[in-house]
Chains A and B, each alone.
Chain A
Amino acid sequence: GQNIDQPTEMTATEGAIVQINCTYQTSGFNGLFWYQQHAGEAPTFLSYNVLDGLEEKGRFSSFLSRSKGYSYLLLKELQMKDSASYLCALLMNYGGSQGNLIFGKGTKLSVKP
């Protein structure tokens, strides 16, 4: 099976940097997604890591280490609109789950002025 763990909640200050961690145990996945979800809305794509290392996209960066079973999402220059839940998800590549996303429970980030 897959266990995906993320902190439940985090708080940060506007303009600061925050790192949201995601750890997992799984027997096989193609890549790892990060999604942002504002309250009452659908998840929207932020990043996708296939290989180990850092992927940078503007204010958001995501890192993956397969050997350590670990990923993080880094948000820089935080803005109030970044207050949302951040979901880590694995794209499975084995058996009947191939091609499906398995999600962590999400981290609710609150950005304070």
Chain B
Amino acid sequence: KAGVTQTPRYLIKTRGQQVTLSCSPISGHRSVSWYQQTPGQGLQFLFEYFSETQRNKGNFPGRFSGRQFSNSRSEMNVSTLELGDSALYLCASKELAGGDEQFFGPGTRLTVL
């Protein structure tokens, strides 16, 4: 099976812009979670989607949003970008919402100038 894929791999934006990142989970996996990773804060949970519904949400402002499509692919959107949003954004998929092991994609490196 192909692994989790994320596009784009690298992105440069300026403050105030908005960005959309995409994640395709492993075939058959219905749960997709998004994480932000920065050197200072480590890996932090953003939100999880299962069957097109958001199950959980971490402690991030409303500028961070996401959605999931019927084929389980997921997108996350960040509006009104700030310098502090520069990070590696990782998505992870698993078969079930309450399942155990998550498989991570390679990430999207976002730089906000």
Please state if A99 and B106 are interface contacts (CB–CB under 8 Å): no
Q: How far is the CA of A52 from the CA of B69 in the complex (A)?
A: 39
Total residue contacts A-B, CB cutoff 8 A: 54
Please state if B55 and A99 are interface contacts (CB–CB under 8 Å): yes
Q: In which size bucket is the chain B interface?
A: 20 to 34
Please state if A99 and B43 are interface contacts (CB–CB under 8 Å): no
Closest to A105 in B: B42
Which residues does chain B contribute within 8 Å of A42, judged by CB atoms? 90, 104-107
Closest to A101 in B: B102
Interface SS, B side? strand
Please state if B48 and A45 are interface contacts (CB–CB under 8 Å): no
Q: How far is the CA of A87 from the CA of B104 in the complex (A)?
A: 13
Please state if B104 and A43 are interface contacts (CB–CB under 8 Å): yes
Please state if B101 and A48 are interface contacts (CB–CB under 8 Å): yes
The distance from the CB of A7 to the nearest CB of chain B, in whole angstroms, is: 13
A98: interface (CB < 8 Å): yes
Please state if B100 and A104 are interface contacts (CB–CB under 8 Å): no
Which residues does chain B contribute within 8 Å of A105, judged by CB atoms? 41-42
Please state if B104 and A99 are interface contacts (CB–CB under 8 Å): no
A96: interface (CB < 8 Å): yes
Q: How far is the CA of A81 from the CA of B43 in the complex (A)?
A: 22
Residues of B within 8 A of A (CB): 31, 33, 35, 41-45, 48, 55-57, 90, 92, 97-107
11 further A-B pairs in the complex, CB-CB below 8 A; given A48-B100, A96-B56: A41-B107, A43-B90, A43-B104, A48-B101, A87-B42, A91-B100, A97-B56, A99-B31, A99-B55, A99-B56, A100-B45
